Amino acid sequence: MVRRSLFAATAAVVPLLLAGQAAAATKPVCNLTGSSALQERGVLTLSTDNPAFPPWFGGGEKNPPWQINDPSTGKGYESAVAYEVARRIGFARNKVKWIYTPFDKSFAPGDKDFDLFFNQVSYRPARARNVAFSISYYNVTQAIVVRKNTPIARVRTVAGLKGFQFGAQRGTTSLDAINERIKPDKSPRVYPTNVNAVNALKNGRVDAIVVDLPTAYFVTAVQVPDGRILGQLPVQGTPEYFGAVAQKGSPLIPCVNKALRQMRRDKTLARIEQKWLAGATAPFLR
């Protein structure tokens, strides 16, 4: 598991001035339990990729078929957000179930067997042509992970990255960031999963990989013993964000958006982020 110093934080104390808002938040913004749009009447079917990595998911390591973490524990940022969204759209915890969907299939064309998918899926117009996206539940930056004591570890600018070999998971905005913002001289190596990309870094097949910043902390804390975060890529234009994914035209999304707006107003999202993503920061490359 991730070192406690990276992601664990003491429980946030709710200020008295927010007490009224917190009480109001206990009432669901919608009640979708009877919706005919659900995969299973009265049940909210949530989905994520497998393995489900920290700090987005946590706990239940020995609960098959989940390989690393069982998303139904409610631990980890995305699991905690998903259960809070579910509650605010009318679903008790025992009316929520999780299934596995590969990351790149979540936003591919075609019918879905889930109601909502939570797995660090960044909104992109091309993806939104195939599926429905919620508003942001996390604004994300991309980070570069390298190994210590390698030539790339001395680079401090985006321009200085061009001569190195990069890798990333297929279909990700991390791969887009390599191609569109770093524009390296060598074509990036593309891998079917993030585990494959991480292993390529460990074995020296690539000089660096690009992942979202919280994932970069897990990679360097657990997966790559001599790994380090070189830095974040500067934000350009509209900030990248993660949204919940649903079937195109899903009537659930307007209610999910209401829940997320409420969670932002009453600071619930901020408290969940402080608990599970505290310490996820790094300098920006010039």
Mean pLDDT over the full length of the chain? 90
Q: Is 149 exposed, middle or buried (0-12, 13-18, 19+ CB in 10 A)?
A: exposed
85-126 pLDDT per residue, tens = 999 999 999 999 999 999 999 999 999 999 999 999 999 999
Q: Which fold has domain 142-232?
A: D-Maltodextrin-Binding Protein; domain 2 (3.40.190)
Q: Tell me if domain 4-139+239-277 and domain 142-232 are identical in fold.
A: yes
pLDDT band for position 19 (50/70/90)? very low
- Are 98 and 219 within 8 A, CB to CB? no
Residue 64, phi then psi, degrees to nearest 5: -65, 150
100: helix, strand or coil: strand
39-60 pLDDT per residue, tens = 999 999 999 999 999 999 999 8
Q: Which pLDDT value is given to residue 16?
A: 33
Q: CA-to-CA distance for 184 and 182, rounded, in angstroms?
A: 6
Decide if pLDDT at 237 tops 90: no
pLDDT band for position 265 (50/70/90)? very high
Residues above pLDDT 70, as percent of the chain = 91
Decide if pLDDT at 253 tops 90: yes
Rounded average pLDDT over 236-256: 94
Residue bearing the bigger pLDDT, 10 or 47: 47
List, edge to edge, every strand of the sheet that includes 166-169: 189-191, 166-169, 208-212, 142-147, 227-232
Decide if pLDDT at 17 tops 70: no
Q: CA-to-CA distance for 38 and 45, rounded, in angstroms?
A: 8
Decide if pLDDT at 3 tops 50: no
Q: Which pLDDT value is given to residue 164?
A: 98
Q: Which pLDDT value is given to residue 22?
A: 45
Rounded average pLDDT over 132-140: 96
Q: Which pLDDT value is given to residue 9?
A: 35
Residue bearing the bigger pLDDT, 6 or 148: 148
Residue bearing the bigger pLDDT, 15 or 130: 130
- What's the DSSP call for residue 10? P
Domain 4-139+239-277 has CATH 2.60.40.2470: no
Q: Which pLDDT value is given to residue 62?
A: 76
Domain ranges of the chain: 4-139+239-277, 142-232
Residues above pLDDT 90, as percent of the chain = 82
Q: Which pLDDT value is given to residue 26?
A: 63
157-213 pLDDT per residue, tens = 999 999 999 999 999 999 999 999 999 999 999 999 999 999 999 999 999 999 999
Q: Which pLDDT value is given to residue 63?
A: 84
Decide if pLDDT at 222 tops 60: yes
Cα–Cα distance list, 80 to 5, 33, 44, 55, 263 (Å):
19, 20, 15, 11, 12
